[in-house]
Structure formats: C-alpha cells, structure tokens
Structure 1
Amino acid sequence: MSNALVIIPTYNEIENIDAILRAVFSQEKAFHVLVVDDNSPDLTAGKVKDLQTEFPDRLFLLQRHKKEGLGMAYLSGFKWALERSYDYIFEMDADFSHNPDDLIKLYTACHETGADVSVGSRYVKGITVVNWPLSRILLSYGASIYVRFITGMKVKDATAGFICYKRAVLEAIDLNKVRFIGYAFQIEMKFKAYKKGFQIVEIPVIFKDRIKGKSKMSGSIISEAIFGVISLKLKSLFAKS
C-alpha cells in the first residue's frame, strides 16, 4: 500500500492518459493514481479501465456523471483519498504540463523537509513556462501578483495546479464549503491552508503547454478567479470580526 495518491482529473484526455499514467508508475516512488473522469465523450474512462488490468493495485477510477469543473473533480478525489489511508495527496494534470518526474520533489518537500503543502511553482525562480503565448504568460503571472496583493499570501504561484497536500491539511479544511470550481479553486485551497497556519513551500518546476488535446481554459474561469479572490479576502475579514 502506497502512502501517496496522485489525483488526475480528466475530460477528453484519451490522447494523453496512457502515457501520463505510465510515466507516474515508472517513478522510483510507488505512487497510486486516482483518475477522476467527468464522463468524457472520448471514452477516457474506458482506457483507464483497460489499464487497470495492468496496474490493478495502483490505478483507480472515479467516474462522475457530468462535467462540473476542475474543483468539483478534485474535491471528489480528496474525499475518496481521505476515506483511505493516504498521507500525501497530489493534484496533477493529465496533459504533461506537469512533469511526473517532479512528483518526488513535491513529495520530499512534505515528507522530509516539513512542508504541509508543496506547490510546483512556475514563478518562484523567474518565469519557467514553455510554449505559452505571451498573452497567457502575462495573464497568469499578473493573476499571481494580484492574488498576493489581495490575500497577503506569500505564494508566488497561487493558481498552480501541481500540488502535494499532507493529509492533515485536507482534513482541516471543510471541503464541503469550498466554493469555486475553476481557476479560483486552486487559489481558494491555498488560501484556506494559509489561513489555518499550514506551511506552504514552492518548488521550482518547468511548466510546458499541452501538446495533445484541448485546453479547458475559458473566460468564465478567469472571471471567477478575479472576483473570487476579493470574495475570499472579504469573507476572511468578516470571519475575524
């Protein structure tokens, strides 16, 4: 039984899922993987089921009835993990924008150096993003500056989605009260951990844009992040008072 679970949410990732799972399972650390699939029309879940015969004790599948957003997929995965004995729970994309070889860096930061949350950061050492258009880099980097200014968090890549949480962090956060489902979900989770006094560290990683499949980014997701950050900060102030 592994102590570490990697949650990979999928929606139409049939072109990537086989390769990303094999890359995770090839790591020196024995990670388990939970794929949370939002009823992908391209039958991503079917491919995962095929691979379960090859990795029966390491690969798990949680099928949801419809696409409800990244946040809802991760929350379902978190709850699944907490019902079992995993001590370290990871978020990772299916499209190789997050390098599976960096999983051990995030694990080591939490397991050996005392971090409660380790974030694979694009901005802790300059800007380490490959194959993004300048407009998207400016949007993402600007959002991180905006989040730091509004929330007071020191995290330089608050929107990052490559993360390791210690079990205690997810147990301390009321997952049923997490509000956001898109881009802002990543900010909200870090902010809740920050407000509860957990140590968040950033590990530099190189982020590469997907080669196969389509991005899930949309205008509504960006709007949720912009206005959601203000909402998070105001709620925390009222909670203090």
Structure 2
Amino acid sequence: MTDFDGLVAVVTGGASGIGAAVAATLTARGAKVAVLDLNPGDDGFRCDVSDDAQVRAAIDAVAERYGGIDVVVNNAGIGAQGDVTANDDEEWHRVLDVNVVGMARVSRAALPHLRRSSAAAIVNTCSIAAWQGLPSRALYSASKGAVLALTLAMATDHLPDRIRVNCVCPGTADTPWVGRLLDAAADPAAERAALAARQPMGRLVTADEVAHAVAYLASPAAASTTGTALAVDGGMYGLRPRGPVN
C-alpha cells in the first residue's frame, strides 16, 4: 500500500515496541517518518515529551527537514503498577505529565503544521485500561482514561481545522515493557499465561497488529473516521466467552 505517499508522520516513542512497529509500518506505506524518542537512533530526533522546549524544537526540526507535518502519532508513554496507594504524588505527576500532558505538548506544537495539511491526522496510543478495571493499574489506568477523554475533546475541537483525531486501545501487547514486567514476576511463565488468558483470543497482542490499526486511523483512506477509539485487544472489551478458546 502507498496511501501515505508524500506525507510526513511524527511518531513519539518511536524507537521501540509499538512505536517502532508504527514507524516501520508507515514507512512501508510511503510516509516519511520522524521518530521522536529519548533514544531515537541515528536518524531520529531526541525529545522528552515532558519538556515543552524540547518538544517544540523537535517538531520545528521535523517540519524544517521534511517541509511540513501531516500525521502525529502520540505514542510515548510510561507505565505504573499498583493500587491507588502504591505511588506517591511525585510519581502520579510524572506519569500524568508524560502520558497525558506530553500528548498535549506534541499536538499543540504540531497544530500549525497540521492545519496546512490536506490529510491531517492525530492518533493517540490509549489502552484497554481506559475502560476496563485492570488490577494493580490505578495510576496507569487514570492516565489512559484521560487520553481517551482528551482524544474525544480534540476530535471535536479540530473539526473546523479538518484534523482527524482518534486513538487506538491495545490490550496487553508483547512489547519490551511488558517483557520487563514479566521478567520481574515471581513466575514469569505463569504471569504471561495469565495475561494471555484474560484476552478472549487467548494470546497477547502483537506490536505489528497495533501498528496496522494506527495506520488505518492515520490514513487518508479513513477520511470520515474521527473521534474513534479502536480496540486491538483480542476481544477483551466486548466479548464474554464461556471458557478458554481452544
């Protein structure tokens, strides 16, 4: 597919995991992709989304190098574990700053460029945690619930700008971050099996599957899709099977 030919896409957190899969998918479909990351590699742009000056500098550098920006994928984020008592105020502020305010910083810096695009789109990486009560994920869930609300508000605000805003809501994905959580568990194999079992399809989501969902939402071919939260979760949101899938 070449539906992104001539378009410039920014992917935050694009150096690993879901972000890297998104960057590779958009590149394969014709986009010029700018990776923004704390460790972006040789051709990317170093950017801490919790630092407004860095965000503005990175976005300006992308626009200067490629002549504009058409797509923003707000994927950068961090995790958090535990119930509501598990994290102190400093950690609550840190996670919300990266996961929620970081998306606002990148989006507002990119808006002048997006407004000049004929195929402008923003895709935010949300999570199944935004609408499912997952155990020991109070802070993380709060941040992703805010991302869902932010997505809907932005989609409404930017209708006059012809900027589509959507989010993708992955289930538990087989990424380096999840791998680190599993490695820290008392029984990694049992924990992996439990995570897979809670998704009706009986396995973890892959980063590539999420990336293709992001590409759909960002593509000019989805020109009538805005204000949508697309679940990529093995059926976790809507399905209630009676037993394990064989």
> TM-score, length-normalised on structure 2?
0.36
Which gives a bigger RCO, structure 1 or 2 (Cα 8 Å, sep 6+)? 1
Using structure 1 for the length normalisation, give the TM-score: 0.36
